[in-house]
Structure 1
C-alpha cells in the first residue's frame, strides 16, 4: 500500500511539473503578446481615441449640467411669466373699471356744468330785476356788489324769485311747511341769524310777510337808499374802473341775458 502511495505521489509530482512548465510558457507568451500590443499601431490609436473620448465625455457632462441649470431657470421664468400675465389681466379689469368710472364722472361733471350755467343765468335774472340800473352804471357805488350779493342770497334761500313771485301773487296766508324742500331747521336758523339784518338793511322785504298779496314789482321798486345810484361829481379814475372789473363783467352778462331785455 505504501508503494502505491509513493507511485501516486510521483505521478502527481510529474503532472505538477508539467503544469508549471506549461504555465511558464503561457506567461512568456502572454508577455510577448502584451509587448506586441503596446507596440501595435492600432492599439495605440485606439488608446488615444479613448482618451479623447473621455475628454469629450467630461465636456458633455459640463454642458449637461449647464442645460439642467438653464432648465431650472426657465421653469422659474415660466412661473414669473404666469404671475405677470395674471397681474396684466387684473390691470386690464381695473382699467375697464376706471374707464366706466371716468364716463360716469364725466356725465356728473357735465350735469354740474349745466347746473352752474343755469344758476348763473338765474343770478343774472335776479340782478336784472332787483338792481336794474347796474347794467348802466356799475361803478357808481362801492356797496353795490355787496348789497347785490346779499339780495341774491335772500332770493335763493326763498326758492329764487319765481317762488317769491308765486308766494306774493297768492292772497291766502303762506304755509311754509307745505312748500317743497322746506325744513323747519332752515327757517329757525334763518330767522335767528337774519331778522335783525333784514329789518335794518332791507325793510321792504318785511312787507312780503305782512301782505302776501303785494305784487313783486311793488316790492322791488321799494329799494333802500344804499341801492340807489349816487350822483357823480367827477369822472372815476382808471384805478377805480379796474377795481370794478367784476361788476363790469356782470354788466356784460346781464346785457346778453334775454330776460333783462
Structure 2
C-alpha cells in the first residue's frame, strides 16, 4: 500500500523603415517550459529512535475519512531506565499476568508503537467500524494508552467467569485520536544480537477484526467493503537495518481493507 508556463518572444513592432513580413514567413517561435511534476506525498518526519513509520488514509462508506500515521520505536530492555514508563504501563495493565520480576528474568524488550487518526472533513467516523491495530496480542504482551483501546472481545456472549487476560486483548482505534501500545517481547533483550524481534511482527491498521461480543453486543466482523484504505506508504529507517530488518517473514499488504507492514502480515480473519 504519481502522485507550462508560456514565454512569448516579443514581436517586432512594424515601423515605416522596417520591411513588411511576407505572409509565408514563419512566426516567431513560442518557447514552452517543461511541465513540473506534481508534488508527492509529504515525507513523514520520524524521531531518531524509530525503526518504521507509515502513513495512509481510510475512508468509510459514509464518506468519513481518517488520515493515519504510525511510528514504531526501537526496542529497549524492560529494565533500562529510559524504559521505566513503558514498564509501568505494561505491569499496571497486565497486573497478575506480567510483573517487573518476569520482565527482568525473561529479558523482555519493550517496543512502543504510536498511532494517530486525524479526521479529514466534517463527517463523523462510524462507531461500528473499529480499526484493529497491529501488532495484535496474539503472540505478544500488549498494553495500550490514549485513544488506542484494548477491548475484551469474547467469541460468544459471556458467561460468568469468562474473560480475556488484559495482556491478550487486542487494541483498536474507534475513531479519531492519538494512542500508543507497549509491545512486550520475551527474550528480546538477551538475543544475539538483541532488540531485533520487533521485525518478526506486523504493524498497521486493519478492518478485519474477528467477530465476537463485547458484553452482550456484537463487535467486529464487519463487511470489509465498508472501508477503503489508500495512499499507504511505509518508511524504513537506517536504524532498522541494524536491528533485524528485514526479517525472513517481512512483507507488506496495502489493500483496500488493510494497511499492514512487517513480519507475518497475514490477516487474522473477518467476514
TM-score normalised per structure 1: 0.20
The answer to which structure has the higher strand fraction is: 2
TM-score normalised per structure 2: 0.20
The answer to which structure has the higher helix fraction is: 1
